[in-house]
Amino acid sequence: MAEITVLFFSYAADRMNGRQHRYTIEPGTTIGDLYRQEMEERLQQPVAAFMFSVNAEWAAPSQILHDGDEVAVIPPVSGG
Amino acid sequence: MAEITVLFFSYAADRMNGRQHRYTIEPGTTIGDLYRQEMEERLQQPVAAFMFSVNAEWAAPSQILHDGDEVAVIPPVSGG
Amino acid sequence: MDIVRIQDVPIDVNEGIAAIIDERAGGEAIFLGTVRNVFEGRASRGLFYEAYRDLAEKEMKRIEEELKREFDVLHVVMVHRIGELALGEIAVMVAVSAAHRHQAIRACEAGIDRIKSRVPIWKKERWADGKTAWHDDPEAGAGQMR
Amino acid sequence: MDIVRIQDVPIDVNEGIAAIIDERAGGEAIFLGTVRNVFEGRASRGLFYEAYRDLAEKEMKRIEEELKREFDVLHVVMVHRIGELALGEIAVMVAVSAAHRHQAIRACEAGIDRIKSRVPIWKKERWADGKTAWHDDPEAGAGQMR
């Protein structure tokens, strides 16, 4: 089992009722797996609606997570 | 007869040995006439090499000059 | 000098200009993004910005390197502010210097375009009627936000 | 506020920015033209600018009106300095504000392009070897000046 942290921003943080959650995952779990298991229902959008990062670097939904990883769920950006 | 003032700028002032000359002209004289009579030899370029203004407004070489007019001989601009 | 930074204090345009001025440069282009009093036809009283700071600064640094490579610019400044901003306040500054003006202007425009499309920063509109909504929130309603 | 001016004192960028900032504006674009230490491959130590001030300010005013009409900008600042300028000093500032960034950037670029092509201002290069030459002087030599 692995412990990971997920950061939420913008409206994703509102819907998840928090800017940071911790999850315990099975070995081999991908970002996409975690999203579908823990977030899709509350965020009400498919995985393709978001970008993701792991340890502050862009990551594909197919990336496998490891103990200690910090994942971010990144809605469409709107800076500027 | 009419008295007019001509302003020179940039390298035209250098070639004319001054930034301002006064000329006495015949009635009906155009900018182009004056240029060919008084300036072409020293400026060593045809009338088409310059823009002109009369009383601080753009003017064509065909414009007829009148007593008191202030003409400017305007080389290619290079501001900025 | 180059500056790439997310900050929560007001943006100092003079800092940006001082950083890019260079005797080799013939042109400096500066873009400031400021808080508008209207968005999509609806009155606003300000914006709240948040960023994923670590990734945002990393991505801005990548954009800086792209601008230097693609547009042959001498210096690049990119500063984005976060937190509560009032109307008219500067949210973002992009400033570049180059030998020639079109390089500088093209690079500056590419800089703000890439910040807006790639850097993890989000804005929440504070509408004049007291409501708030994140930009691009699908639940904010198609008529209110794009 | 709009500013159109030829002046012989240093250009104050903050004056320009203060003039264009507006709560209706989402973008401000500023261009600064500065004195380069090289021109066409030859080392320079500065520039001397002269203007036909009456006509120059009139033409800049016309450009200001064109920018407002063509690009829907809110405010326009165009200031050109004349006299002796040292390396790195600002010779010209164009600053515009608009609702959207691309309008502001396009208008700013059109502003400096039109100043350079139409406003009766001339520059003389002070070469590092002590010689001087007006830009575009046909006698300055094709290899030295365009």
Identify whether C21 is part of a domain: yes
What confidence score (pLDDT) does residue C119 get? 98
What confidence score (pLDDT) does residue D18 get? 97
Q: What pTM was estimated for this model as a whole? A: 0.95
Alpha-carbon distances of D29 from B8, B20, C93, D57, D67, rounded to whole Å: 35, 39, 10, 21, 13
3-state helix, strand, coil in chain D (%, to 5): 35, 40, 30
CATH 3.40.50.10860 is the classification of domain B2-74 = no
Distance, in Å, from the CA atom of A74 to the CA atom of A14, rounded to the nearest integer, reads 13
- DSSP assignment, residue B49? G
Interchain contact, C135 vs A78, CB within 8 Å: yes
Over the stretch C13-63, which tens digit does the pLDDT of each residue have? Answer: 999 999 999 999 999 999 999 999 999 999 999 999 999 999 999 999 999
**Mean pLDDT taken over chain D:** 95
What confidence score (pLDDT) does residue C59 get? 98
**CATH number where C25 lies:** 3.90.1170.40
Distance, in Å, from the CA atom of B47 to the CA atom of B13, rounded to the nearest integer, reads 15
Identify whether C93 is part of a domain: yes
Name the residue facing D31 among C13, C99, C105 (closest C-beta). Answer: C105
Q: So where are chain B's domains? A: 2-74
User: What is the arithmetic mean of pLDDT over C118-123?
Assistant: 98
Interchain contact, D88 vs C31, CB within 8 Å: no
Distance, in Å, from the CA atom of A36 to the CA atom of A33, rounded to the nearest integer, reads 5
Over the stretch D37-69, which tens digit does the pLDDT of each residue have? Answer: 999 999 999 999 999 999 999 999 999 999 999
What confidence score (pLDDT) does residue D146 get? 43
- The answer to whether D3 and D60 are in contact (CB under 8 A) is no
Ranges under pLDDT 70 in chain B:
none
Over the stretch A16-74, which tens digit does the pLDDT of each residue have? Answer: 999 999 999 999 999 999 999 999 999 999 999 999 999 999 999 999 999 999 999 99
Identify whether D93 is part of a domain: yes
What confidence score (pLDDT) does residue C139 get? 84
**Mean pLDDT taken over chain C:** 95
* Residue C68: domain span: 3-140
Name the residue facing C136 among A51, A56, A76 (closest C-beta). Answer: A76
Query: To the nearest whole angstrom, how far is the Cα of D127 from the nearest Cα of chain B?
Result: 16
Identify whether C11 is part of a domain: yes
Structural domains counted in chain D? 1
Distance, in Å, from the CA atom of A80 to the CA atom of C55, rounded to the nearest integer, reads 16
Query: To the nearest whole angstrom, how far is the Cα of C93 from the nearest Cα of chain A?
Result: 9
Contacts of B72 in chain D (CB under 8 A): 52, 55, 120
Neighbours of D46 (CB within 10 A): 19
What confidence score (pLDDT) does residue D143 get? 40
Nearest chain D residue to C35 by CA distance is: D26
Query: To the nearest whole angstrom, how far is the Cα of C106 from the nearest Cα of chain A?
Result: 17
